[in-house]
Amino acid sequence: MVRLSDGVTNMNEDRKDGAAQGGEDSREYLTFTLGDEEYGIDILKVQEIRGYDAVTKIANSPSFIKGVINMRGIIVPIIDMRLKFNLGQAEYNQFTVVIILNIAGRVLGIVVDGVSDVIALDREQVRPAPEFGAILDTDYIDGLATFDERMVIMVDIEKLMTSGEMGLVDQAQMGAY
Amino acid sequence: MTIDMSQFYQVFFDEASEHLAAMEGLLLDLDVEAPDLETLNAIFRAAHSIKGGAGTFGFSDMASLTHSLESLLDRLRKQEARPTVEMIDLFLRAGDLLKEQLAAHRQGGEFEDARVEEVCRKLEALSLAGSSTGPAPTPATDPIQVADRVWLVEFLPESLKLQPGTDLQALKQALAEIGVLDVLSEDREGPHRWRITTGLDREAIVETFAFVCDVREISVRAGDVGVASAGDAAVDEAGFTEEYDGFGLFSGAPGGEAVSDEEDDGFGFFPDAPGSETLSDQELDGFGLFGGSPGMDRVAAVSNRNRVDQERGYGFFDTSPGVPEVEDDAADKPTAADTASIAIAPKKAAGAARRPSSGDSSIRVSVEKVDQLINLVGELVITHAMLAESASRLDPVINDRIFSGLSNLERNSRDLQQAVMSIRMMPISFVFNRFPRVVRDTAASLGKRVSLKLIGEDTELDKGLIERMADPLNHLVRNSIDHGIETPERRHEAGKPETGEIILRASHRGGSVVVEVTDDGAGLNRDKLLAKAAKQGIQMPENPSDKEVWQLIFHPGFSTAERVTDISGRGVGMDVVRRNIEEMNGRVDIDSYPGQGTHITIRLPLTLAILDGLSVRMGDEIFILPLTAIQESIQPRREQFKSVAGRGQVVQVNGEYLPLVVLRDVFSLDGEPVQQEEGILVIVDTVEGRAALQVDELVAQHQVVIKSLETNYRKVEGVSGATIMGDGRVALILDVDALVRLNRKAA
Q: Does any domain span residue B186?
A: yes
Q: Does any domain span residue B311?
A: no
Question: Please, which residues bridge with residue B186 across strands?
Answer: B192
Of A60, A72, A106, the CB nearest to B712: A106
Q: Does any domain span residue B86?
A: yes
Q: For residue A67, what is the enclosing H or E element? A: strand A65-71
Backbone angles phi, psi at A96, to 5 degrees: -65, 135
Q: Give the three-state DSSP class for B440.
A: helix
- Distance, in Å, from the CA atom of B219 to the CA atom of B196, rounded to the nearest integer, reads 13
Please tell me whether residues B266 and B408 are part of one structural domain.
no
Q: What is the pLDDT of residues B511-562, one digit of tens each?
A: 678 899 998 888 888 888 888 888 877 777 777 788 778 878 887 766 655 5
Please tell me whether residues B266 and B298 are part of one structural domain.
yes
Q: What is the pLDDT of residues B331-368, one digit of tens each?
A: 344 443 333 333 333 433 333 333 444 445 678 788 78
Q: What is the pLDDT of residues B123-132, one digit of tens each?
A: 778 777 655 4
Please tell me whether residues B343 and B420 are part of one structural domain.
no
What is the pLDDT averaged over residues B454-461? 87
| Domain end (from B590, B605, B620) | B605
**pLDDT tier, B674 (very low <50, low <70, confident <90, very high otherwise):** low
ipTM: 0.76
The CA angle B315-B316-B319, to the nearest 5 degrees, is 100
Which tops the pLDDT comparison, A96 or A99?
Answer: A99
Q: Does any domain span residue B318?
A: no
Which tops the pLDDT comparison, B207 or B449?
Answer: B449
Please tell me whether residues B169 and B132 are part of one structural domain.
no
Contacts of B689 (CB under 8 A, 6+ apart): B658
Q: What is the pLDDT of residues B379-393, one digit of tens each?
A: 787 788 778 878 888
Q: What is the pLDDT of residues A22-71, one digit of tens each?
A: 455 678 899 988 888 888 998 999 999 988 878 888 887 888 888 898 88
Backbone angles phi, psi at A27, to 5 degrees: -120, 155
Question: Residue B386: which domain range?
Answer: 367-426
Q: For residue A37, what is the enclosing H or E element? A: strand A37-42
Please tell me whether residues B492 and B542 are part of one structural domain.
yes
On the question of pLDDT at B234 being above 50, the answer is no
Query: Are the Cβ atoms of A75 and B708 closer than 8 angstroms?
Result: yes
Question: Which residues of chain A are within 8 Å of residue B666 when distances are taken between CB atoms?
Answer: 59
The dihedral built from the CA positions of residue A37, A38, A40 and A41, taken in this order, carries a sign that is: positive
Q: Is A173 on the interface with B (CB under 8 A)?
A: yes
Give how far Cα A88 sits from Cα of A113, A135, A144, A157, A161, Å.
11, 16, 22, 21, 20
The CATH number assigned to the domain holding B23 equals 1.20.120.160
Q: Which of B712, B719, B733 to mutate to test the interface with A (most CBs of A within 10 A)?
A: B712
Query: Are the Cβ atoms of A60 and B708 closer than 8 angstroms?
Result: no
Among B122-131, B253-262, B372-381, B412-421, the range scoring the smallest mean pLDDT is: B253-262
Q: Does any domain span residue B627?
A: yes
Q: Does any domain span residue B444?
A: yes
What pLDDT does residue A30 have?
A: 92
Query: Are the Cβ atoms of A173 and B714 closer than 8 angstroms?
Result: yes
DSSP B135: P
Q: Give the three-state DSSP class for B617.
A: strand
Q: Is B10 on the interface with A (CB under 8 A)?
A: no
Please tell me whether residues B263 and B174 are part of one structural domain.
yes
Q: Is B670 on the interface with A (CB under 8 A)?
A: no
Please tell me whether residues B249 and B263 are part of one structural domain.
yes
Please tell me whether residues B348 and B208 are part of one structural domain.
yes
Q: Give the three-state DSSP class for A153.
A: strand
| Domain end (from B605, B627, B662) | B605
Which tops the pLDDT comparison, B198 or B43?
Answer: B43
Q: Does any domain span residue B314?
A: no
On the question of pLDDT at A1 being above 50, the answer is no
Contacts of B386 (CB under 8 A, 6+ apart): B726, B727, B728
Q: Is A77 on the interface with B (CB under 8 A)?
A: yes
- Region A3-165: CATH code: 2.40.50.180
Q: What is the pLDDT of residues B179-230, one digit of tens each?
A: 666 776 666 656 667 777 766 666 666 666 666 666 666 676 666 544 434 3
Contacts of B454 (CB under 8 A, 6+ apart): B330, B331, B334, B335, B429, B432, B435, B436, B503, B504, B505
Quote the mean pLDDT of chain B.
71
Which tops the pLDDT comparison, B201 or B399?
Answer: B399
DSSP readout, B513-574? EEEEEEE-S----HHHHHHHHHHHT----SS--HHHHHHGGGSTT----SS--SSS-SS-SH
What is the pLDDT averaged over residues B33-42? 79
Please tell me whether residues B456 and B507 are part of one structural domain.
yes
Q: Is A71 on the interface with B (CB under 8 A)?
A: no
- Distance, in Å, from the CA atom of B86 to the CA atom of B241, rounded to the nearest integer, reads 40
Please tell me whether residues B197 and B105 are part of one structural domain.
no
Which tops the pLDDT comparison, B703 or B133?
Answer: B703
Which tops the pLDDT comparison, B581 or B259?
Answer: B581
Q: Does any domain span residue B315?
A: no
Q: What is the pLDDT of residues B141-154, one digit of tens each?
A: 444 444 566 777 77
Please tell me whether residues B97 and B10 are part of one structural domain.
yes
Residue B525: half-sphere exposure toward Cβ, Cα within 13 Å: 12
What pLDDT does residue A46 have?
A: 92
Of A57, A73, A75, the CB nearest to B709: A75
Number of independent structural domains in chain B: 5
Q: Is B423 on the interface with A (CB under 8 A)?
A: no
**pLDDT tier, B73 (very low <50, low <70, confident <90, very high otherwise):** confident
Q: For residue A143, what is the enclosing H or E element? A: strand A141-147
| Domain end (from B390, B410, B426) | B426
Q: Which of A64-78, A81-95, B14-28, B193-207 has the highest mean pLDDT?
A: A64-78
Amino acid letter, B744: R
Please tell me whether residues B628 and B668 are part of one structural domain.
yes
Q: Is A75 on the interface with B (CB under 8 A)?
A: yes
Q: What is the pLDDT of residues B609-642, one digit of tens each?
A: 677 789 998 888 889 998 878 888 888 888 888 8
DSSP readout, B478-510? HHIIIIISPPHHHHHHTTS-SSEEEEEEEEEET
